Amino acid sequence: MVIGFHNKMQPVRRMIALCQSSQCQHMLKLTYKHGTCSSIQQRFYSTAGEYKYRKSALFAKRQSKVNQENIPVELDIDIEERLKVKGQLLSELSSRNIHDVDIDQLERDYKKLKELEKRELELEEQKRECTKKVAILFQAKRDNLESSDDIEKELKNVVEIGRQTKKYIKDLFPEVTSTAERVALTSLNLPNRLHENTPLSEDRVEENVDNDTDKSQSLSHIEIGDLFDLIKFSNIGNRAFYFKDSLALLEQALTNYFCERLRHDVYTQLTCPEFFKHLIVEGCGIESEQVLKLKERPENPSDDYLAGVSIMSFIAYVAKSRINLTNEPMKYFSCGRSYAPERENPSLGLFHATQSVKVNTFSMCRDWETCDNLLQTEKNNLWNIYKQFNIPCRLVTISSPSLHRSEEMRVEIQFWAKSLQKYLKISSVSMVSDYISRRLMTRHYKGTLPVYMVHCEALDVTRLIAILMEYGALQQDSYRFPQLEFLDKYWMHPK
């Protein structure tokens, strides 16, 4: 069932826009440095109009004036907490093979930023005191309570102090903003924390189902598809392919089976957009080279990206929103086309297709413990499904060097591809915790804490079909698919 969630998800744009009045411009500029909530240690604001985009779509250099018509994007990067455990941070960066982030320089810049901010606040307070004193002196002058000459002399002195204070603030502003920019851009390159169960060097096999099925090399799905007229690949490029007859029905059967299972497990189905802006791509910690870009416009980093069903589908739905997690967790799923940049080796056919059909799920909760439990539950549910296929498969916890930047932990279900003589990923469950929600303003309905997330690529339909084809029974003039009795309800395949 597809339903709306207007009562559960409230956009925060209106609330933040209220802070952009002329009376609180300066407070808006300083909030990113002095958040009132102890759990939000560092905030940065960027706005589409009054800022010029630089190296990041998530951060733009702060300007002296705020355009009231634009709405800021708030980033909670949690720098201070991460620098408190600097040794752990350095160890995690090393285990992920990330060597382009200078943590020592980040620490120095952050310390300098705090000192500059403190000085800026002191000057602002001094300016306010001068303004108050000028008002008192003007009132005293009108009331003629003191000698007019004494008042004039003191008034000139206070005005001069105020003028000098404004100059100091103006002179300090470029240094504050440039330091804040260095801190923000470096911090945005930091990956998520590592789960305690994430292996640091090599993938760890948790379970292995090695059936009596023959694992010797066989005809590839490309050869089988051509021999029995089941697949047609495009004559003008390797991007397009066409499933015929039984394979087209099998694609629908697998999709329907998984979607029905998810609906039974109280997941809400979403139909999601396939195009995304750079803000969403970077907010998910994804490098732009990993997503199919539609337009190449160097002067504008907000180009459209085509990804289809992916984690970005769900993040675009909840970005800049307050989520009602009273009846947690909230669980969604979506199925449809997924797109990837063209691979270097097109000869692998469906194994690395640029277009594929996938089923993805996405869950949100309030704390790390619940998030970890969601990871385990989804992993176990998927593993029980895939064991039914009676094909050699394994459950693997991926090591830190292979994790995406947003992932704290990832578990994959891999099937043995006979033609390649190696395991390939069919499904995965990723714990991204609060990494993305901190970058894209996803908060609790009541409170300021970020939400925790689990993303699951429940099924790569196209790749699974390719593997199933290689386990079918080949005869001289016929081909029989593997027996999948649990799919009989959904798939009218040849007997």
Of 204-213, 278-287, 451-460, 465-474, least confident by mean pLDDT is: 204-213
- pLDDT at 44 > cutoff 90: no
- pLDDT at 202 > cutoff 70: yes
Of 99-103, 262-266, 375-379, 489-493, least confident by mean pLDDT is: 489-493
- pLDDT at 440 > cutoff 60: yes
pLDDT in tens, 71-96: 445 777 888 899 999 999 999 999 99
Distance CA 82, CA 446 (A): 25
Taking residues 293-304, what's their average pLDDT? 66
Residue 386 pLDDT level (bands cut at 50, 70, 90) = very high
Instruction: Tell which residue, 194, 210, 211, 208, has the closest CA to residue 398.
Output: 194
Instruction: With beta carbons less than 8 A apart as the criterion, state whether 370 and 376 touch.
Output: no
More confident residue, 290 or 454: 454
Which two structure tokens, joined as six digits, stand for 288? 């732009």
Of 235-244, 285-294, 297-306, least confident by mean pLDDT is: 297-306
Taking residues 232-260, what's their average pLDDT? 86
SS (H, E, C) the chain: CCCCCCCCEEECHHHHHHHHCHHHHHHHHHHCCCCCCCCCCCEEEECCCCCCECCCCCCECCCCCCCCCCCCEEEECCHHHHHHCHHHHHHHHHHCCCCCCCHHHHHHHHHHHHHHHHHHHHHHHHHHHHHHHHHHHHHHHHHCCCCHHHHHHHHHHHHHHHHHHHHHHHHHHHHHHHHHHHHHHHHHCCCCCCCCCCCCCCCEEEEEECCCCCCCCCCCHHHHHHHCCCEEECCCCCCCEEECHHHHHHHHHHHHHHHHHHHHCCCEECCCCCEECHHHHHHCCCCHHHCEECCCCCCCCCCCEECECCHHHHHHHHCCEEECCCCCCEEEEEEEEEECCCCCCHHHHHHHCCEEEEEEEEEEECCHHHHHHHHHHHHHHHHHHHHHHCCCEEEEECCHHHCCCCCCEEEEEEEEECCCCEEEEEEEEEEEECHHHHHCCEEECCCCCECEEEEEEEEEHHHHHHHHHCCCEECCCCEECCCCHHHCCCCCCCC
- pLDDT at 413 > cutoff 50: yes
- pLDDT at 234 > cutoff 60: yes
- pLDDT at 12 > cutoff 50: no
Instruction: State the average pLDDT for the chain.
Output: 80
- pLDDT at 323 > cutoff 80: yes
Instruction: Tell which residue, 25, 98, 34, 95, has the closest CA to residue 65.
Output: 25
End-to-end CA distance of the chain: 33
pLDDT in tens, 50-62: 333 346 777 765 5
Specify the pLDDT at position 70. 41
Which two structure tokens, joined as six digits, stand for 219? 């005809």
Specify the pLDDT at position 341. 84
pLDDT in tens, 469-492: 999 877 777 788 888 888 888 877
Q: What percent of the chain has pLDDT over 70?
A: 79
- pLDDT at 1 > cutoff 70: no
Taking residues 306-314, what's their average pLDDT? 92
- pLDDT at 446 > cutoff 80: no
Specify the pLDDT at position 310. 93
Of 7-16, 221-230, 457-466, least confident by mean pLDDT is: 7-16
Which two structure tokens, joined as six digits, stand for 15? 């609330």
Specify the pLDDT at position 8. 46
